[in-house]
Amino acid sequence: MKKEKTYHLAIDLGATSGRTILAAFDGTKVEMEELTRFSHPMLPVGGLLFWNFSELYHQVLLGLRAAAEKVAEYGAGLASVGIDSWGCDVAYFRSDGTLSGLPLCYRNSSTDGAVARFAEKMPLDEVYSRTGIQFMDFNTLFQLDTVRRNNPAILDSADKILFIPDALAYMLTGNAVTEFTVASTSQMLNQATGDFDEELLALIGLDRDKFGPMVQPGTVIGTLSAQAREFTGLGAIPVVAVAGHDTASAVVGIPVEGDDYAYLSCGTWSLLGIESPTPIVNAKSREYNFTNEGGIDGTTRFLKNICGLWLLEGCRREWGSKAPGIADLAAASLESTCDSIIDPDDASFAHPDSMTAAICAFCERTSQPVPVSYGDFVRVIYRSLARRYKAVVDMLAEMSGKDISRLHVIGGGSQSAPLMQFAADELGIPVIAGPAESTVMGNVLLQLRACGEADSLADMRKISIASNETKTYKSE
């Protein structure tokens, strides 16, 4: 007897844009249908950058309403909803459950130098030995330390401090939790205990009660509140804590068997890593600034953040409507002969006034040809990213002892054939591209687990394999 389809809503939030996607599961594979897409740009106020969180929540509610209307067309109901987002940023709530101001954005220049400032409180080697997390100025620990220095009333007045997906789930259900994978990006979790490090919290004047209880991916947080039900037209739908960090959900969604691979989540950021049964925290991982972020079922995402297609996005914003579309830009990169290589992780590319000027300045400083045409810039970015991927894969193999025989690329960047081919040429191993929607796939798979439709990680990946097509690139 054929299984009746179940429907699940994935709310996938990237920095500055978001989507709601309805997934139908027939017992074997998942089919996806985008319902809404929206932007939520950073708001510049008083010299700082904030997220318009009220509008973001409104868009989530509109997505839920659209899901209610769509499943009604199918003569079905909605089985669950899950939210994933970027990491590190947090929202503050008063004791009555209302927002205490707008959440700060991780792109704020106010945290520049925050790591060095925190080192005055605790040696960085000790911070790394406790957390196993790479040092970046915008990690939550350093964001909160900066807030403590500049505006401590924000922290003192907050009843709850919640990561972005947890904050939205709180607004939907009234239940405050801390989902493990997104919390693991904060540099505030103790990698030995899997919970917040009390001494690190004390150094920024916070206690554990400011945060919700820790939950693992696949946990039902609660059901839609009466207010949310009234607005959306839905019933008491379960809200699931999926892998709240979008990269963690993306890794769950990789259509792969075996373990002889590295993965690359390729978007605004490039996150390149492996799944490890245990954290890898030693002098070498500290030297290379690798991170140990939470995965599911006790795994660790041992990875490195690389500045990814942020470079190209910055150029495209400058070029505006006069520039060719992304497909034409990719084609132009193959016509260019500009072979300059930049360091994608150079500090000059973090938030420049002009990305093209920053790229040209780097080439001038390193005595390389300066890109001129659109194709030149795109080729320099793609080849530089591919070169960086090679270096990071070599580091992963060195530190883990793992035989890495293929690279699985997921996320929007997997659709760029020139970038994938450059990566295959640099790495000398097969590059398997797709799916672009791995984050949503992982989000849905963890909802299926919460609903009793899937069990182990291997089971979930079998569903992903059945649901997705990939393309393999080999070195030429």
Are 429 and 330 found together in one domain?
A: yes
pLDDT, position 2:
66
Rounded to the nearest 10 degrees, the angle between the axes of helix 355-365 and helix 374-400 is: 70
Are 223 and 261 found together in one domain?
A: no
Question: In which element (H, E) is residue 261 found?
Answer: strand 261-266
Whether the predicted pLDDT of 140 surpasses 80 = yes
Whether the predicted pLDDT of 411 surpasses 70 = yes
User: pLDDT per residue over 424-471, tens digit each?
Assistant: 999 999 999 999 999 999 999 999 999 999 999 999 999 999 999 999
Whether the predicted pLDDT of 162 surpasses 90 = yes
C-alpha angle 115/288/262, rounded to 5°? Answer: 120
Which residues are part of the catalytic machinery?
246
- Residue 436 phi, psi dihedral angles, 5° rounding: -65, -30
- Cβ contact 455:243 at 8 Å: no
Whether the predicted pLDDT of 123 surpasses 70 = yes
Are 137 and 59 found together in one domain?
A: yes
Whether the predicted pLDDT of 15 surpasses 90 = no
The residue among 246, 279, 313 that closes a domain is 246
Q: What percent of the chain has pLDDT over 70?
A: 100
CATH number at residue 169: 3.30.420.40
Whether the predicted pLDDT of 87 surpasses 60 = yes
pLDDT, position 476:
83
Q: Which residues contact 287 (CB under 8 A, 6 or more apart)?
A: none
Whether the predicted pLDDT of 101 surpasses 90 = no
Whether the predicted pLDDT of 283 surpasses 60 = yes
- Mean pLDDT for the stretch of residues 310-333: 95
Per-residue DSSP letter, 392 = H
Whether the predicted pLDDT of 197 surpasses 80 = yes
| In a domain? residue 466 | no
Name the residue range of residue 356's domain: 256-434
Mean confidence (pLDDT) of the chain: 96
DSSP H stretches of helix in 139-225: 140-150, 153-157, 164-173, 180-183, 198-203
pLDDT, position 1:
54
Are 21 and 169 found together in one domain?
A: yes
Are 317 and 186 found together in one domain?
A: no
Q: Domain count for the chain, please give it.
A: 2
User: pLDDT per residue over 213-236, tens digit each?
Assistant: 999 999 999 999 999 999 999 999
Are 181 and 271 found together in one domain?
A: no
- Mean pLDDT for the stretch of residues 350-367: 96
Give the SS3 label for residue 286: helix
